[in-house]
Amino acid sequence: MRILVDMDGVLADFERGFLEKYRKQYPDKPYVLLEERRNFQVKDDYSEELQPLVKAIYQSPGFIRSLPPIAGGLEALCEMAVLGHDLFICTSPLSQYDPCVVEKYHWVDEHLGRDWIKKIILANDKTLIRGDILIDDKPEIKGLETPSWEHILYTQPYNQHVPSKRRLTWQNWKEVLRV
């Protein structure tokens, strides 16, 4: 199988990286714990007044590159590859692409190694990428094409409400993909 794996919220812990930097920089401002997040985009869980501060955090140089990995994700990726699957990291950059895009490459290089660089696909419309499975935390993935892949939702607090889709986390991916 060709398995496409999203990056932010699936391999790289965007939410934890964000919250740590935000709370450090604005210790007196209100914040939303991961368990309480309800919107896919972190900024949408903050008031209009706080949104510029939120954006400035995740657009800042070094933010993407220094994201911690989500526990079990890198190991799962390598294990799937060993099982003979074709793995690709399929990610959409932030609209403020500098330095986001190059930092995504650095992240993969530093956490998975040089060979994985060739496995990165940067695309805004993931329906244009051919694969059997897409593991992604985004509730709905739309684009120009009917996808060739099945979307398996990577479970996060902000997508709990999405019905009728297969889901997984890096704790249960083997059972789910075996179905």
Nearer to its own copies, 29 or 119 (CB): 119
Contacts of 25 (CB under 8 A, 6+ apart): 53, 57
Task: Work out the number of other CB atoms within 10 angstroms of the CB of residue 145.
Answer: 12
CB 105 → its own copies: shortest distance, Å?
A: 4
Shortest distance in whole angstroms from residue 179 CB to its own copies: 25
Dihedral sign from CA coordinates of 112, 121, 136, 101: positive
Does 59 contact its own copies by CB under 8 A?
no
Told to judge if 45 belongs to the known catalytic residues of this protein, a careful annotator would answer no
**According to CB under 8 A, which one of 21, 29, 119, 167 is a site residue for its own copies?**
119
106 binds its own copies (CB under 8 A): yes
Q: Using the minimum distance from each CB to its own copies, give the nearer residue, 98 or 150.
A: 98
For 128, other C-beta atoms within 10 Å of its C-beta total 13
- Is residue 133 part of the contact set for its own copies (CB under 8 A)? no
Residue type, 144: L
Here the tokens at position 175 are 């059972």
CB of 38 to its own copies, least distance (A): 26
Is there binding between residue 116 and its own copies (CB under 8 A)?
no
Tell me if residue 28 is catalytic: no
Question: Shortest CA distance to 74 belongs to which of 100, 107, 106, 101?
Answer: 107
Determine if 88 is a binding residue for its own copies (CB under 8 A): yes
Say which residue the tokens 């997984």 belong to: 168
Could you tell me the smallest distance in angstroms from the CB atom of residue 69 to its own copies? 19
- φ, ψ of residue 4 to 5 degrees: the values are -95, 130
The count of other CB atoms within 10 Å of the CB of residue 90 is 23
Residues that bind its own copies (CB under 8 A): 2, 86, 88, 93, 95, 97-99, 101-102, 105-106, 109, 117-125, 128-131, 144-145, 148
Catalytic residues: 6, 8
